[in-house]
Amino acid sequence: MRRLILIILTLISISCEKAKTPINENLIGFKSEEVGEPGAMYKNGEWIDYEFDTDRIDVKYFEDIIVAKTFTAGNACGKYELNVEFKDDTIELLYYLNNKTEDLCESLKIESLTYIINNPKKIKWEIIK
């Protein structure tokens, strides 16, 4: 019986930890894909020299949906979470290291990030990282 109670308490604490970083309700979906490392991209089975513009954000508006795409650098061994934050007339695209990740390394990766955002008022937002 004690063991069952301990398991239940553990599951409750894990679910509470996940609730600490809720996804913004206007973030419909997102996709992250590793596309290379600084200065190189893996394409068609081989590495080629390529510089990613990590400052650029491509934004497209479709009726009441916003699609924002950007590149960013991160720890090659880390696990990341995506989210958005609304402030006044700005949407900030968030990409942050999951605190539970302990297997970090010295290598960097470049990821392509795509955010799909609900925009029911059809506002032209300033999008930042």
Mean pLDDT per block of 10 residues along the chain (129 residues) reads 43 40 88 89 81 93 95 89 94 86 81 95 95
How many residues can be counted in the chain? 129
pLDDT value for 100: 63
Q: Are 28 and 21 in contact (CB under 8 A)?
A: no
Q: Are 74 and 97 in contact (CB under 8 A)?
A: yes
pLDDT value for 12: 39
Separation of alpha carbons 60 and 90, rounded Å:
15
Nearest Cα residue to 76 out of 49, 101, 53, 45: 101
Locate the domains of the chain by residue range.
22-128
